[in-house]
Structure formats: C-alpha cells, structure tokens
Amino acid sequence: MTDTAKKPILILGGTGKTGRRLADRLTAQGLPVRIGSRSGTPPFDWENDATWAPALDGVGAVYISYYPDLAVPGAAEAVGAFANLTVASGVRRLVLLSGRGETEAQRAEEMLKASGADWTILRCAWFSQNFSESFLLDPLLAGEVALPVGAVGEPFVDADDIADAAVTVLTRQGHVGQLYELTGPRLLSFADAVAEIGKASGRGIRFKRISHAEFTAAVAGYELPAEFAWLLNELFTEVLDGRNEALTDGVERVLGRAPKDFSAYATETAATGIWSD
C-alpha cells in the first residue's frame, strides 16, 4: 500500500466512465477520494486553471482523465501544465488515462513524463461503454448505427477493467514508470459490436457504413457542438485506420487475469435495460 492510503486520491473525470468506477472501488476499500470535475468540491475545470491548485490541496495522488479527449488540440499542453503544477505542489504520484494510436495522446504522455512525476500510463483501446454511456447510445436506441468505419477490428476494452487496473497501480507498489496498453481480448468491427448488442438486447439494430461527409452532416443534425463533430471525425479517421488492430496483454500484466470480453459487457449491460425501448 502506498501513502495514497492516508491522503485522498484526486480523480479527474471522477463522475465519468472510468473515474466513477475508480471512485466506487477505492471508496469500497475505505480509501479517501476527491472527485475532480466541474461538479466536484472544490470544482475542477480543465478550462479554468485557477481551479487546479485548490483541487490538489492535500491530495496524495491523481488519476488524470482529460476531457473531452486527448486528441483535441491543446490537450497535451493542458496535461503537461497540470502535471507540472502537481509536482510543484509536492504531489508526485500521477496516473494518466491515455488512448492508443493517438498522436496527441502520446504527446500528452511525453509531457507527463517530462514533469518529473512518478507516473504510470494506462493507454487504452476504445471503451465498450461508448455504446452505453456515450455518443453511441442514442443511435442504438434509434435502431441504426451509421459510422464512417468498415471492417477494421478494434479490441474494445471494458471500463471496469480500466478501473480495476487504476486501483491496482494507485494502491500497490511496482507500477511507477510503467506504461500499460489495455485492450479487450478480441478484435471486433463496429458492425460486430452492434450485432452483439442487438443479440444481447433482443433488438434489431442495423449497422451502416457511411462516408466521413455523411457522418459530419449527421452529427450536425444532432446539434452537437462543432468541436465534438470534429473530434469524432478525427477519432474515426486517425485511430481506426488499422493501426490498433492488435491485442495486448496489459490487463493480464496489471491484474493477473484475462480482460472482460465484449459479449460479457453486452449481456451485463443489456440486463440493466439501457438498450430497451
């Protein structure tokens, strides 16, 4: 057990997909946590660096989940500035949630390392939970998922596995200076993933491949912010070109067990009723 047992762990994005699960797990172990988000106490806002120092006051370690995505221009600089402030405040233990095959995310990793922190990097595949806790939920409920992506295989990783890995690296010795690539155990195309969700939820859901231009127009129709449309196109263009079509042993290395399969995610999530009409 590290000294994070005595001081709270600041969890940035602590109400989001991985942060919420991490907070639940640490709290269940009796470890103090502080939620670092705009709704936290004190609030933490990536857009307002005056909120950073108050959120760091008295903490023993930080889980860094950037918002909205490390692929966004300026993300690496923000993570670097935050890491520098954190180390200067005397908080050395930093764990970064990163993304596979993203140039900007890898730049953020370098900024973290350059800060002099005792770092660990969790470099993750696409989260399975994008289908239930993010932008893919509405299309699934509407019965058709239309994306600018073809047969490329993605090793979707479960947010539960990421949270388990984050607990381990934050509370056990031996993970400083380690980079873990976390993937699920199987490559699936987006069409495969949608088919598995259709099967698990007992609903007919179509998958349709569309062009990037059609996708941009469709996103605009949902009245999402322009930068979100840019981000989605960037992710579908840059990350899903086949570069990430490989499985890794990161979950096994950290947790000593196999990662959760997408079919288990689909079955468990269908049982919550979130994909029901």
Ligand X SMILES: NC(=O)c1ccc[n+]([C@@H]2O[C@H](COP(=O)([O-])OP(=O)(O)OC[C@H]3O[C@@H](n4cnc5c(N)ncnc54)[C@H](OP(=O)(O)O)[C@@H]3O)[C@@H](O)[C@H]2O)c1
- Which chain residues interact with ligand X by CB under 6 A? 13-19, 37-39, 44-47, 65-67, 69-70, 97, 99, 124, 126-127, 130, 134
| Alpha carbons 241 and 246: distance in angstroms, whole number | 12
Nearer to ligand X, 2 or 78 (CB): 78
| Alpha carbons 82 and 79: distance in angstroms, whole number | 5
**Residue 51 Cβ vs ligand X, minimum distance, rounded to whole Å:** 8
Nearer to ligand X, 36 or 198 (CB): 36
**Residue 20 Cβ vs ligand X, minimum distance, rounded to whole Å:** 7
Taking the CB of residue 215, how many other CB atoms lie within 10 A of it?
20
DSSP reduced 3-state for 186: coil
Which residue's beta carbon is nearest to the bound ligand X?
A: 16
Backbone φ and ψ for 147, nearest 5 degrees, come out as: -135, 155
Nearer to ligand X, 19 or 148 (CB): 19
Nearer to ligand X, 51 or 216 (CB): 51
**Residue 173 Cβ vs ligand X, minimum distance, rounded to whole Å:** 25
Label residue 13 exposed, middle or buried (CB < 10 Å: 0-12, 13-18, 19+).
buried
**Residue 146 Cβ vs ligand X, minimum distance, rounded to whole Å:** 18
| Alpha carbons 190 and 193: distance in angstroms, whole number | 5
**Residue 129 Cβ vs ligand X, minimum distance, rounded to whole Å:** 7
Tell me which amino acid residue 131 is: F
- The number of residues making up the chain comes to 277
Nearer to ligand X, 47 or 277 (CB): 47
